[in-house]
Amino acid sequence: MENGSHVNGAAHRKERILILGAAGRDYHLFNTKYRDEPSVEVVGFTHAQIPHIASSRYPAALAGPLREGMLPSTKPVVAVTAVRTGCGKSQVCRLVIDAARQAGKRVVLVRHPMPYGDLAAQAVQRFESVADLDKHHTTIEEREEYEQHITNGVVVYAGVDYAAILKQAEAEADLVLWDGGNNDLPFYKPDLWLCIADPLRPGHEVSYYPGDVNFRCADMIVVNKANTAPAAGIQAVLASAKALNPRAEVFVTASEVSVDCPDLIAGKRVLCVEDGPTTTHGGRPSGAAAVAAAKYAAAEVVDPRPYFVGELKKTLDKYPHVGPVVPAMGYSEQQILDLQASIAAVPCDAVLVGTPHDITQLISVPQPLAVVTYAVADLDEEQQQGLGLKGLGASPGLGKALEGRLAGMWTAKS
């Protein structure tokens, strides 16, 4: 029987739509545009890219009224987005949090969805303590995003129904901080929109959707990782900013790495464990751990790829660009077990952990661990000169600029 409705005796066939995505914006698009639209029928979601969610079904319990795609807030909203995953959004989020705290304001962070389990149960998730990560059965990928903010004293929200999430976040926040997943657009209408670009991947700010939209729409563009990127890459991204978003204020920053146990690295054979999304669908061969290995003079970065087993070996088959590092994949219990077995099998003196999550909560390995942290930092004048940035339109002092922008927002929405 054909699906349709009758108006004045005439049959009108519904437009049948398949939504492509990875259990993030695809759900939000359905929630806000299509679920109460009588002229269309959404027949399914592709659930691309993320392992083990292909058979998930969207629950009927989450149906509700039609809403706009970018939701307005009663509180100031800062959106931190990027052109690709792995550009440094979390680092910049921490800088926004610091600037808000300097003004005595309470920040609540809302993270782009990562709903890999029971969607109805995950409609609204609130994380205030590390124990909440266990309560909600979070994956390694979720922990990488949430844990660093929770341990910094910031309440984190995530889930599926972002209108309901916003209502709860507004009740306890002076500032709602949107932390965009991968390179997606904000779900909330921002009062200040930042986009992080990566000069190690120049050109991606114009060739990857929807990151290119973030780049064109942002009020502030942050060209991060300038301390490890070639000058040509930095200059290429700055040229794109000037051509595509000349109204944006542009900042060039460093991503400075440090480790808790440098003695475990210097002169030693180390294994690098990296953030999973950055080194898989983000397209980077390595990440912060490899940078730290070079900075702290490791004798050798041991290639772990011959030791990969099970799900981790399948990941390497799918993403052959991955370099001599271990992507910290943990979307399922089996992936976590295979991650543990693969790391434990590598003959090395120490494991250099570049994922922003305490992996010892989920795995146990015999080697000693050195933990990498990283933070965005302004370039000094000598660094700017060395990279040929003079006269290219980059502004100094991202932290101070954020403090000034936020001060204006408090006044506008007070």
**For residue range 363-380, what is the model confidence (pLDDT) as tens digits?**
999 999 999 999 999 988
Is the CB of residue 141 less than 8 Å from the CB of residue 356? no
Query: pLDDT tens, 220-233?
Result: 999 999 999 999 99
Greatest distance between any 2 Cα atoms in the chain: 82
User: What is residue 52's predicted lDDT score, i.e. its pLDDT?
Assistant: 61
Q: What is the predicted pLDDT for the residue at 64?
A: 46
Number of H helices, E strands in the chain: 14, 17
Cα(first)–Cα(last) distance of the chain, in Å?
A: 56
Nearest to 354 by CA among 278, 280, 252, 269: 278
Domains of the chain, start order:
4-62 (no CATH), 77-256+376-412 (3.40.50.300), 262-367 (no CATH)
Alpha carbons within 13 A on the beta-carbon side of 274: 30
**Which residues of the chain fall below pLDDT 70?**
1-12, 22-23, 47-68, 391, 393, 414
Write a three-state SS string for 31-71. Answer: HHHHCCCCCEEEEEECCCCCCCCCCCCCCHHHCCCCCCCCE
Q: At what angle do helices 140-150 and 333-345 cross, to 10 degrees?
A: 90
Residue 86 to residues 59, 228, 321, 401, Cα–Cα distance (Å):
31, 14, 15, 23
Contact between residue 152 and residue 100 where contact means Cβ atoms under 8 Å apart: no
Parallel, antiparallel, or unpaired for β 175-179 and 107-111?
A: parallel
What whole-number distance in Å separates Cα of residue 1 and Cα of residue 47?
28
Cα 141 off chain centre by: 10
- The whole-model pTM stands at 0.83
Query: Please, which residues have CB within 8 angstroms of residue 76's CB and are 6 or more apart in sequence?
Result: 174, 175, 176, 191, 192, 406, 409, 410, 412, 413
